[in-house]
Homo-oligomer: A and B are copies of this chain.
Amino acid sequence: MKKITLIFSVIFLIGCSNESTNFESSSINKNETFNWRLVTSWPKNYPGLGMAPERIADLVEEMSDGQMKITVYGAEEQVPAFGVFDAVSSGSHQMGHSGGYFWKGKVPAAQFFTSVPFGLTADEINAWVNRGGGLELWREIYAPFNIYPIPAGNTGTQMFGWFNKEINSLEDVKGLKMRIPGIGGEVLKEAGGIPVTLPGGELFTALQTGVIDATEWVGPYNDLTFGFHQAAKYYYYPGWHEPGPMLELLINIDAWNSLPKHLQVIIETATKAVNQDMLDEYLAKNNQALTELIEVHGVELRRLPDDVIEEFRDISNKILDDLAKEDETIAKVYESYLNFKKNVSAYHEISEDAFVESRTK
């Protein structure tokens, strides 16, 4: 083994030396070091959401043995929470970490790659994006903005959130001022509510001062961190609007193309590992946080009445159908999404869903 080690070392040194002498003749130098900046839509080091880009940065630095360093900035440190897409698009920052539905005004189809009401769960959106043609479509629609997206985390099914009154009928939704982004917000609007989009860091104050009556955020683990239960007396409702929201790592395409192949694979692989890691974190932490919210802080967990759920579902389907009529790109993404959803949920019904039912019966 010792001898083999020495031989390999010699080969490597020759390799290393060859690379070095060749680097000027190639446009990409395999040994160049990189110091990149990554902006996010989350508070710095925020559990789950904010830790994902930190972990991507750590893994990239470790796997590249220091060849690539990524510095992560929280929301507002360098750009506003909702300025991430533009920062990466312009190239002022090489990388961003955020959620596609924040850019719905610019790229309406991006919402399908985060989450749409009554859509795909975490496992299902992973399978659609990575193995069902979704990723190719996603890259196609971000390319005109000079952005290369990589799936970068999932919170699992989110809670509908915090309400200052019980929702016992559709009447209770009318006039309700609620922070809820994406298509979920449009559904609320159609049902008579008033949707608002605010970054996470502003929600506690908005609740406390009565600027909003209700908010969704993520789920027990994150909601406990923000302390919404301290803002007022709240009822807490399970979700329908973001069944498996996928976060995104955004990379400026010129910056991406300047990387040697092995660093590109390192970034893609680190991000895929973190995509799973985030879901693991939420699943491992949510129940404990929910128990604390209910048992220690007196939060009241409620269930939406069936007719409210049904109304939300009907409105969602209509909004998505209408959205798909806006242009061919949205129609193409929607068709791919719906087709995958039909297939994967048909199989889930006889496999995992049937199993879960048999486990708990």
Main SS at interface, chain A: helix
> Counting CB contacts under 8 A, is A351 at the interface?
yes
> Counting CB contacts under 8 A, is A343 at the interface?
yes
Contact A355 B240 (CB under 8 A): yes
> Counting CB contacts under 8 A, is A8 at the interface?
yes
Looking at A71-79, A82-90, A115-123, A182-190, the stretch in contact with chain B turns out to be A115-123
State how many residues of chain A have any CB contact under 8 Å with chain B: 90
Residue from A156, A240, A310, A359 whose CB has the most chain B CB atoms within 10 Å: A359
> How far in angstroms is the closest Cβ of chain B from A255?
10
| Residues of B with C-beta under 8 A to A15 | 66
**A166-208 interface mask toward B, CB cutoff 8 Å, 1 = contact, 0 = none?**
0000000000000000000000000000000000000000000
CA distance A12 to B63 in the complex (A): 16
| Residues of B with C-beta under 8 A to A288 | 343
Contact A243 B23 (CB under 8 A): no
Residue from A219, A272, A301, A310 whose CB has the most chain B CB atoms within 10 Å: A272
> How far in angstroms is the closest Cβ of chain B from A213?
22
**A241-283 interface mask toward B, CB cutoff 8 Å, 1 = contact, 0 = none?**
0010000000000000000111001100110110111011101
| Residues of B with C-beta under 8 A to A132 | 284
> Counting CB contacts under 8 A, is A350 at the interface?
yes
Nearest B residue to A12, CB-CB: B31
The answer to whether A126 and B12 touch (CB under 8 A), given A266-B63, A290-B347, A352-B243, is no
CA distance A234 to B285 in the complex (A): 43
CA distance A279 to B125 in the complex (A): 12
| Residues of B with C-beta under 8 A to A265 | 59, 62-63
Q: Which single member of B62, B306, B355 contacts A157 (CB below 8 Å)?
A: B355
> Counting CB contacts under 8 A, is A37 at the interface?
no
| Residues of B with C-beta under 8 A to A9 | 20, 23, 29, 31-33
**A1-42 interface mask toward B, CB cutoff 8 Å, 1 = contact, 0 = none?**
000010011011101100010010000011111100000000
Q: Which single member of B59, B122, B262 contacts A269 (CB below 8 Å)?
A: B59
> How far in angstroms is the closest Cβ of chain B from A136?
13
Q: A59-B265, A156-B351 are in contact. List 16 more A-B contacts (CB 8 A).
A: A8-B33, A9-B29, A11-B33, A12-B33, A30-B65, A63-B266, A121-B356, A126-B283, A131-B285, A157-B352, A238-B350, A269-B270, A284-B344, A286-B351, A290-B350, A313-B359
Q: 14 A-B pairs, CB-CB below 8 angstroms?
A: A9-B29, A12-B67, A124-B283, A130-B276, A131-B277, A131-B281, A131-B285, A243-B359, A272-B276, A273-B276, A276-B276, A283-B347, A287-B343, A287-B346
